[in-house]
Amino acid sequence: MLRSRGENLQEGPRTNYKERLQDIMLRRSSRRRLVDKVVSISAIFSVILAVILLGSILIEVVINGARALSINFLTQPPGAIGSGLGGIGPAIEGTLIVVGLASAIGAPVGVLAGIYLSEFAGNGIFPSSVRFFSDVLVGLPSIVIGIVAYLSLVLTLGSFSVWAGALALSIIMIPIVVRVTEETLKVVPNSMKEAGHSLGIPKRTIILHIVLKSAKSGVITGIILAISRIAGETAPLIMTILGTDLFFTSLTGPVDALPLRIWRLVSQPYQYAHDFGWGAALILILMVLGMSLGLRLLAHRRRFKIGTIAA
């Protein structure tokens, strides 16, 4: 055992720093210091660059978006193209409906599959392949998933529909929730499960009421991360819910969505449409960032509470 561990260490990253440093040490120390300075400065420079670029996105969205905001903008359907009237009411409503439906499908399936991976499955072929392929699924382009939803639902049902959009978004959502749930449930200490077993509680009750409950905040984090990811998806919506100027009527008809509306507005050659696009972007960014920001603050407060109890 010991020998194999030693070998393991040597096979891993090299640890003989003395040897590796020796030829560096032979160089002039002024040059070494210069290289160190250059690297440090370029690291700081890249941070500043990223802060400027990413900060510029947020600032532009807030400044340009705030100009468009009004009660009418938030509640009215879009007016005739070029009229400068109307708003993005159907888009807000549509985003809430499609994302809500997708989460209603995706979250339970994802959590249950995560429970299977962490509580029932070992390292057999089936669970390993579920793990591996849900990782692969996370990285697939959303437009391909949109094509699949189009071919399997839109073509068979004969119309663009909320269902097709929700199916596409739920496929994007599930693998994220699966992996986060599995990772979170694995961290729950075994002693808690054993305490449940020793009281003769059925396994499903142990999982649902003890394991899942103590891992609640982690699982919710995963779900909200996934929701904020699908709320901004545009590509799969083009070929599933299509987009419309009307408010929601039925689950089997087309609806509008914020990202889709932004795209349509930006493609119009009118200044007011571009302003509306910025306004819609502000609403979308508020929804997405508001969700993850609120979540993080909540998690932070909880950690703080646990910290004070432990202290």
Q: Which position among 94, 242, 255, 256 is part of the footprint of another protein (CB under 8 A)?
A: 242
For the bound state, the minimum distance from the C-beta of residue 208 to another protein, rounded and expressed in Å, comes to: 8
Please report whether residue 226 would count as binding another protein according to CB under 8 A: no
Q: Which residues from 147-166 bind another protein, rule CB under 8 A?
A: 147-148, 150-152
* Contact between 157 and 164 (Cβ < 8 Å): yes
Please report whether residue 249 would count as binding another protein according to CB under 8 A: no
Q: How many CB atoms lie within 10 A of CB 62?
A: 14
Using the minimum distance from each CB to another protein, give the nearer residue, 117 or 215: 117
End-to-end CA distance of the chain: 39
Using the minimum distance from each CB to another protein, give the nearer residue, 57 or 306: 57
Q: Which position among 296, 301, 302, 303 is part of the footprint of another protein (CB under 8 A)?
A: 296
Q: How many CB atoms lie within 10 A of CB 148?
A: 18
Using the minimum distance from each CB to another protein, give the nearer residue, 31 or 191: 31
Q: Which position among 21, 187, 246, 306 is part of the footprint of another protein (CB under 8 A)?
A: 21
Q: Which residues from 69-88 bind another protein, rule CB under 8 A?
A: none
Using the minimum distance from each CB to another protein, give the nearer residue, 192 or 285: 285
Q: Which stretch binds another protein (CB under 8 A): 73-81, 86-94, 131-139, 210-218?
A: 131-139
Q: Which position among 82, 104, 133, 213 is part of the footprint of another protein (CB under 8 A)?
A: 133
Q: Which stretch binds another protein (CB under 8 A): 39-47, 189-197, 210-218, 301-309?
A: 39-47
For the bound state, the minimum distance from the C-beta of residue 140 to another protein, rounded and expressed in Å, comes to: 6
- Spell out the residues 6+ positions from residue 107 whose beta carbon is closer than 8 angstroms to its own: 173, 177, 223, 226
Q: Which residues from 186-225 bind another protein, rule CB under 8 A?
A: 202-204, 207, 225
- Spell out the residues 6+ positions from residue 155 whose beta carbon is closer than 8 angstroms to its own: none
* Contact between 61 and 281 (Cβ < 8 Å): yes
Please report whether residue 286 would count as binding another protein according to CB under 8 A: no
- Spell out the residues 6+ positions from residue 185 whose beta carbon is closer than 8 angstroms to its own: 114, 115, 118, 119, 211, 212, 215, 219
For the bound state, the minimum distance from the C-beta of residue 66 to another protein, rounded and expressed in Å, comes to: 15
Alpha carbon distances (Å) from 17 to 3, 4, 33, 75, 90: 21, 22, 19, 65, 63
**Rounded to an integer, what distance in angstroms lies between the CA atom of residue 20 and that of residue 11?**
16
**Rounded to an integer, what distance in angstroms lies between the CA atom of residue 236 and that of residue 142?**
6
For the bound state, the minimum distance from the C-beta of residue 213 to another protein, rounded and expressed in Å, comes to: 16
Using the minimum distance from each CB to another protein, give the nearer residue, 156 or 191: 156
- Spell out the residues 6+ positions from residue 148 whose beta carbon is closer than 8 angstroms to its own: 168, 171
* Contact between 291 and 125 (Cβ < 8 Å): no
**Rounded to an integer, what distance in angstroms lies between the CA atom of residue 128 and that of residue 124?**
6
Q: Which position among 5, 26, 269, 308 is part of the footprint of another protein (CB under 8 A)?
A: 5
Please report whether residue 104 would count as binding another protein according to CB under 8 A: no
Size of the site for another protein (CB under 8 A): 103
Please report whether residue 171 would count as binding another protein according to CB under 8 A: yes
Q: Which position among 266, 286, 298, 299 is part of the footprint of another protein (CB under 8 A)?
A: 266
Measured in residues, the chain has a length of 311
